[in-house]
Amino acid sequence: MLITMELNGRRVSREVSPDTLLLDFVRAEGAFSVKRGCETSNCGLCTVFLNEHPVLSCSVLAARAEGRRVTTLEGLQKEAKELGAFIADQGAEQCGFCNPGFIMNTISLLREHPNPDEAEIRSYLAGNLCRCSGYEGQMRGIVAYLKWREEAGHSGE
């Protein structure tokens, strides 16, 4: 079947089998930030935005994205770079495999709730697993990023 979607602002069409996962579709189009982790909807590494809402691309068929907008970290360079720098500053990045999923979901959280407290951040990111760290570095990085945004007057953008 022919699937057409807008991937990171670019119209893409590809013949795929009906059971092709969105994860495989976007990676075949070069979106390698989308990681193949558990493939059982448990780790958050494969998060993409489907029409601006985060979904786990390992559990969504590519056909569901027909005619819709799909965004990966490659399409969110500015936000990803800024937030990623704060997380790296806290030494949270070890192997870095979980980072794209964390950043995607943090961006989504901040779009829904521009000024979350720590409990809200932990709750929203509970589905993002990291095999290397205790999550404290990521949390410090996100809190520092929020503080920077507030001081720079970027909150709520």
Which CB, 7 or 22, lies closer to ligand FES?
22
The residue behind tokens 């590494």 is 45
Which CB, 93 or 149, lies closer to ligand FES?
93
Which CB, 24 or 39, lies closer to ligand FES?
39
Sites of contact with ligand FES (CB under 6 A): 36-39, 41-46, 56, 58, 93-98, 130-133
Q: How far is the CB of 92 from ligand FES (least distance, A)?
A: 7
C-alpha to C-alpha distance for 21 and 24, rounded to whole angstroms: 5
Neighbours of 116 (CB within 10 A): 19
Q: How far is the CB of 37 from ligand FES (least distance, A)?
A: 4
Q: How far is the CB of 23 from ligand FES (least distance, A)?
A: 7
- Alpha-carbon separation of residue 153 from 71, 114, 148 (angstroms): 26, 12, 8
Which CB, 8 or 138, lies closer to ligand FES?
138
Q: How far is the CB of 118 from ligand FES (least distance, A)?
A: 19
Residue 78 phi, psi (nearest 5): -65, -55
| Sequential DSSP letters for 44-82 | -TTEEEETTEEEEGGGSBGGGGTTSEEE-GGG-HHHHHH
